[in-house]
Amino acid sequence: MCGEGTRCTGKGTSSLVPLSPINFVIPSGVFCREESAFSSEPMFALAQTPMANTQIAFLFPGQGSQTVGMGKNLAEKFPVARRIFEEADAALGYELSKLCFEGPEDQLRLTEITQPAILTASVAAWRALDEKGMKAVFVAGHSLGEYSAHVAAGTIAFADAVRTVRNRGKYMQEAVPVGTGAMAAILGLTLEKVTAICSEAAQGEVCEPANINSAEQIVISGHKNAVERAAKLASDRGAKRAVLLPVSAPFHCSLMKPAQDRLAADLKSLHFRNPAMPVACNVDAELINHAERSRDALVRQVTGSVKWEPSMRLLIASGVQTFIEVGPGKVLCGLMRQIDRSKTCLNVADEASLYKTIDQLAGMKV
């Protein structure tokens, strides 16, 4: 997901790229670029849009897709979306809606504000989409976005989710002293090669793959010196880019264990339901349909890598032909083009894109 920064224009490790501190997704243009009663083994009906006989998956973005003004149009046009923002304000005890609609941008970029803001904007978009009769067979979300996916699946209540991700952002930021860790984006090398480079560069420190965004876009995380060594090794061994990222902490690696432990206590206190549809979880790239597995995956996600490309290939293998990115931005659609250009990826972020998506689905012949 993108934030402010400079475009990387050459091979090396010194340039900065516009990436968020949690969801390290590089858009393709940057580098070349009421509780239901479920049994213990839920049965899932294949919910399909009435407009096209195709299996659909909803994808929810993570931190870095935030922009000032996000969700404002939906809140103005759709009462169901407006109520989500009102519920978030009440749950958090401050006007998150105002920060989403008006900024300022520097506050919206603060991790413990950004995470509930992205969740709220995404759930608002989903509610508007759902009201129009658009249903998914599967859901998935990138890092933070997995919470949005679980709200859409009915696993957790929205108010619980928005409070939890506020704490999640805070815990992750506080887990490692500033300057201790680092992250880098490695482009053009396979996961096997990147993993080997991380092992070689670690030298007793932590250096691990953090985000597997596509076959050739992998982000690593760990101790600063180890990540710098890995980035140099990757550049020397043929990476298209090996770029240190402008981040405040080394997310999605074992250094986040303090944050994981704190978040585990929060998640343990929440009521989880069996998802109404399978959720493709980041940490395992598996379909989850049980409450306790959902809780466990969200806990392990903090230190585990985001297996986005394997998750998308799992959904494709499960019959999904059409993906809808629900929430601000189009980063996940950009990644889908890298993963499998034959699949359709649409987006819903405001009234115009909502109706455009409905019209495109209506015209699809499957």
Are 13 and 244 in contact by the 8 Å Cβ rule? The answer is yes
Burial 140-166 (b: 16+ CB within 10 A, else e): bbbbbbbbbbbbbbbbbbbebbbbbbb
Long-range contacts of 87-93 (CB under 8 A, 24+ apart): 87/158, 87/159, 87/162, 88/116, 88/120, 88/158, 88/159, 88/162, 90/159, 91/158, 91/159, 91/162, 91/163, 92/116, 92/162, 92/163, 92/166
Q: How far is CA 296 from the centre of its chain?
A: 17
> For residue 169, with 0-12 CB atoms within 10 Å meaning exposed, 13-18 middle and 19 or more buried, which class applies?
buried
How far apart, in whole angstroms, are the C-alpha atoms of residue 307 and residue 341? 19
Catalytic residue among 20, 252, 294, 311: 252
| 143 counts as catalytic | yes
* 8-state DSSP, 212: E
Catalytic residue among 97, 143, 221, 305: 143
| 223 counts as catalytic | no
* 8-state DSSP, 342: T
Are 70 and 97 in contact by the 8 Å Cβ rule? The answer is no
The H-or-E segment that residue 198 falls in is helix 191-202
User: What separation in angstroms does the CA of 247 have from each of 61, 121, 176, 177, 337?
Assistant: 18, 23, 12, 12, 26
Annotated catalytic sites, by residue?
A: 143, 252
